[in-house]
């Protein structure tokens, strides 16, 4: 068997092309011998080592973009992020992110605690989640905000449109969240491992037509901030967020068939998860004053709840 094929089967987290590149660049050894031929045949009893070089994060550049600035002072800035905007550069999104826009808007006055690729970033919102996000302009502010995230003294609330109407109109979901054992790209409620997560929810408005309710507007308040927390928790009680391609696809296929033609039209126009971070409140790290901000629902969600 070829060396690159053998190693790609042994190290499933690395693609065959990545393995080949590592061999050609001299990062694969057999004993003390550096290997450089991906097509070399593997022999029984041989042991191989792969040295994966540390990735170098490119320094993002400023790119002028329209930003909806809700509040700004010398220490921090609060942005109303639109759906579709990635927060910081990553694989597949090297530029035109919120970080690029912040660098253009704030210049060099952003905290460096988050690293070269994430200046000013204290917390994140998923690409297709809209709403309020606070960024720090200096390290003191960054630490102060991060401490409030850690001790849960910072207020965060979201509005979501979910499939169906939760059986309990108000409740608390307290389940651990970790990587799905079936799909490592997804998060899930888990019984072993995972991180403690608490979401408080309240039904604000049932949504439907013809006397039937197909969906509902729900307010969610976070005590913890785990990856995809609201999306996973609402799915766990049978009320996935509408438009969520990762966690709500099955519900969408099932319910969309039973709704009216108008309902189906509105559903099809929702091309992202209907989740909006509408409230954030925290103590200003310098003044100590409590400041709170709210954001109206974006137009796509407004149209949906007007059914």
Distance, in Å, from the CA atom of 287 to the CA atom of 96, rounded to the nearest integer, reads: 33
**SS3 at position 200:** strand
Asked if 49 contacts 62 with a C-beta cutoff of 8 angstroms, the reply is no
User: What region, left, alpha or beta, does residue 149 occupy, with left being phi > 0 and alpha being psi -120 to 50 degrees?
Assistant: alpha
DSSP 123: S
26's tokens: 């001299």
Residue owning tokens 């050609």: 24
Catalytic, out of 75, 126, 128, 251: 126
Query: Is 128 a residue of the active site?
Result: no
Distance, in Å, from the CA atom of 233 to the CA atom of 235, rounded to the nearest integer, reads: 5
Distance, in Å, from the CA atom of 117 to the CA atom of 115, rounded to the nearest integer, reads: 6
**SS3 at position 42:** coil
Distance, in Å, from the CA atom of 69 to the CA atom of 157, rounded to the nearest integer, reads: 19
Cβ-count burial 105-142 (b if 16+ within 10 Å, e if not): bbeebbbebbeebbbbbbbbbbbbbbbbbbbbbbeebb
Asked if 216 contacts 205 with a C-beta cutoff of 8 angstroms, the reply is yes
Strand order of the β-sheet with 28-30 is 33-35, 28-30, 48-50
Catalytic residue numbers, as ranges: 126
């Amino acid at each position: 068997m070829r060396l690159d094929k053998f190693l790609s089967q042994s190290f499933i987290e690395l693609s065959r092309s990545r393995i080949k590149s590592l061999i050609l660049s001299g990062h694969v050894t057999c004993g003390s011998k550096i290997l450089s031929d991906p097509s070399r045949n593997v022999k029984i009893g041989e042991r191989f080592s792969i040295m994966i070089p540390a990735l170098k994060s490119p320094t993002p550049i400023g790119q002028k973009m329209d930003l909806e600035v809700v509040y700004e002072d010398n220490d921090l800035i609060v942005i109303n992020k639109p759906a579709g905007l990635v927060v910081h550069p990553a694989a597949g999104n090297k530029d035109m992110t919120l970080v690029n826009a912040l660098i253009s808007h704030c210049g060099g006055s952003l905290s460096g605690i988050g690293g070269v690729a994430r200046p000013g970033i204290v917390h994140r919102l998923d690409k297709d989640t809209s709403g309020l996000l606070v960024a720090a302009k200096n390290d003191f502010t960054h630490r102060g905000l991060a401490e409030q995230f850690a001790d849960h003294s910072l207020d965060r609330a979201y509005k979501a449109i979910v499939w169906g109407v939760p059986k309990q109109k108000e409740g608390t979901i307290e389940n651990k969240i970790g990587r799905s054992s079936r799909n490592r790209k997804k998060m899930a409620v888990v019984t072993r491992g995972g991180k403690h997560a608490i979401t408080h929810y309240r039904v604000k408005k049932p949504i439907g037509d013809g006397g039937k309710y197909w969906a509902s507007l729900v307010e969610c308040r976070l005590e913890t901030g785990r990856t995809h927390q609201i999306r996973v928790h609402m799915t766990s009680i049978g009320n996935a967020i509408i438009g969520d391609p990762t966690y709500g696809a099955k519900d969408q296929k099932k319910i969309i068939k039973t709704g009216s033609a108008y309902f189906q039209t509105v559903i099809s126009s929702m091309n992202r998860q209907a989740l909006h971070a509408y409230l954030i409140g925290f103590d200003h790290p310098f003044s100590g004053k409590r400041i709170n901000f709210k954001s109206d629902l974006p137009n796509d969600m407004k149209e949906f709840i007007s059914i």
